[in-house]
Amino acid sequence: MSNSIEVKNPATGELIKEVGVQTAEEIHHAIEKGHMEFKRWSKVNAHERSKLLKAWSHKIQENKEEIAKVMTMENGKPLSESLGEVNYATSYIDWYAEEAIRIYGRTVPAATESKRIVVTRQPIGLVAAITPWNFPAAMMTRKAAPALAAGCTFIVKAAEDTPLTTMTLIELAHDAGIPKDAIQYVNGKGSEVGPLFTNSPLIRKITFTGSTPVGKSLIKGSADTVKHVTMELGGHAPLIIAEDADLVLAVSQTIISKYRNAGQTCVCVNRILVHESLVDAFAEKFTKAVAKLKVGNGLDETTDIGPIINEKGFDKIVAQINDALEKGAEVLIGNKYQVDRDKGYFFIHPTVLKNVDASMDIMQEETFGPVAPITTFKTIEEAIEIANNTPYGLAAYFFTENYKTGMYLHDHLDFGIIGWNDGAPSAAHAPFGGMKESGLGREGGIEGIEPYLETKYLSVGNLVN
């Protein structure tokens, strides 16, 4: 392993900070510390764990402007979005601080009078997390908060592009009084740290947010030690605009869903499916709204669209645009770039493509960029068929004013998260996660603490009545 990571600002290519990388031996040591601390932390009273989580949330809120600035510098997203993410990240800690004191068991009526059956829940042990660069705060807290609330200890490896936000948040957890070995970070290359996590018998669970291929490799790697896994993987969200949709609402919500974080979110719209009778009206209104979005450095308060995270991401997006154009798509706006490969910055102006069809890569591959492909459908059944026709099943959106159409779409779309007239459905109090190759398990809501708990059942016999 190299012994440092250069964290660069994707808006300028400038070096922000060099951070140390742990050796394999140091990572083993961190795993052992987390395992040893589990014996103590799991016995800390749930009310005390709840208080410590609340103190962590408070510390983050006290420092939110500074954290948001660090996030914008390493990730590129506009400062207002970074502030929004800090609040979103904190909302998971607040939610699970409350859930910590609601981990209930139950009693089950036994079949004989001389027995009692008692079901209890206990934390599963040391949890290892691997997180992506696109939400460096929230993707970590929505794993760490339920883990700590349940009584598990936690160790995380953040993405190499964005380790600083994670490091800052974890240092604040320690300042708030959460024991140092109960929540730790390590830095390093995913392909090297991943196997150290999966091979360790001391780690009882892997929780991962990132791409589907890496998720599959972590599931395979977890098999030998039969670890629990939670996988928040890639998406390819369809957004359906039905014949009776409120177009003004559909345009404003599609802008939010598509262009937040420059289109680099797992739930962002990847395919816009418009009823054929509305496509011209929608395309005109949508393109006008897109024209108002300003591209630039996220630290500039007027910026709406920041840079693409890195060269690999940029090349993939441009290849998808070019493939669509070669196969007959039309550019309504965008397809402009500001790029300096030597300095290392990559901006793509928000782009809208029309006349997109199923033969184009953009209709199957996750884009992760500010490109909105528009296609059409004739019937709701056809829209559902197109929508379900990828290996992904994370988020889907639809716009309709008709409750029968809405419920029909809800019932037939194979996605874990559905926004009906809503382009921003994520919330700490709701279960987030995907079907099919978009993942396993849910984060958020009452469901989000379950993956950190084991169920134990006690049968007491030979009782005298």
Nearest distance, CB of residue 209 and ligand NAP, angstroms: 5
* Interaction of residue 214 with ligand NAP, rule CB under 6 A: yes
* Interaction of residue 257 with ligand NAP, rule CB under 6 A: no
* Interaction of residue 444 with ligand NAP, rule CB under 6 A: no
- Partnered with residue 456 across adjacent β-strands are 120
Q: Which tokens hold the place of 434? A: 């995907």
- Residue 49 CA: distances (Å) to CA of 128, 149, 206, 423, 448: 19, 6, 22, 34, 17
* Interaction of residue 211 with ligand NAP, rule CB under 6 A: yes
Closer CB to ligand NAP, residue 133 or residue 397?
133
* Interaction of residue 370 with ligand NAP, rule CB under 6 A: no
- Residue 251 CA: distances (Å) to CA of 262, 329, 421: 17, 21, 10
Which of 159, 269, 272, 374 touches ligand NAP (CB under 6 A)? 159
Q: Is 266 a catalytic residue?
A: yes
Q: For residues 80 and 65, is the Cβ–Cβ distance under 8 A?
A: no
Nearest distance, CB of residue 448 and ligand NAP, angstroms: 12
The β-bridge relationship of strands 116-123 and 453-460 is antiparallel
Catalytic residue among 74, 232, 366, 443: 232
Binding marks (x or -) toward ligand NAP, 385..424, rule CB under 6 A? Answer: ---------x------------------------------
Closest CA to 152 of 186, 121, 127, 120: 127
Phi, psi torsion values for 263, nearest 5 degrees: 75, 15
* Interaction of residue 7 with ligand NAP, rule CB under 6 A: no
Euclidean distance between CA atoms 399 and 94, whole angstroms: 32
Which of 72, 90, 207, 209 touches ligand NAP (CB under 6 A)? 209
- Partnered with residue 229 across adjacent β-strands are 206
Euclidean distance between CA atoms 86 and 353, whole angstroms: 33
- Residue carrying the six token digits 């693409």: 308
Nearest distance, CB of residue 214 and ligand NAP, angstroms: 4
Q: Which helix (H) or strand (E) holds 457?
A: strand 453-460
Q: Which tokens hold the place of 221? A: 């790697």
Catalytic residue among 266, 268, 437, 443: 266
The β-bridge relationship of strands 153-157 and 126-130 is parallel
Q: Which tokens hold the place of 279? A: 């496509």
* Interaction of residue 92 with ligand NAP, rule CB under 6 A: no
Binding marks (x or -) toward ligand NAP, 109..148, rule CB under 6 A? Answer: ---------------------xxxxxx---x---------
Binding marks (x or -) toward ligand NAP, 330..359, rule CB under 6 A? Answer: ------------------------------
Euclidean distance between CA atoms 228 and 330, whole angstroms: 46
* Interaction of residue 217 with ligand NAP, rule CB under 6 A: yes
Q: Which residues contact 389 (CB under 8 A, 6 or more apart)?
A: 358
Which of 434, 441, 444, 445 touches ligand NAP (CB under 6 A)? 434
* Interaction of residue 210 with ligand NAP, rule CB under 6 A: yes
* Interaction of residue 310 with ligand NAP, rule CB under 6 A: no
Question: Binders of ligand NAP among 230-249, rule CB under 6 A?
Answer: 232-235
Nearest distance, CB of residue 233 and ligand NAP, angstroms: 5
Closest CA to 290 of 355, 246, 350, 372: 350
Binding site for ligand NAP (CB under 6 A): 130-135, 139, 157, 159-160, 189-191, 194, 209-211, 214, 217-218, 232-235, 266, 366, 394, 434, 439
Catalytic residue annotation:
232, 266
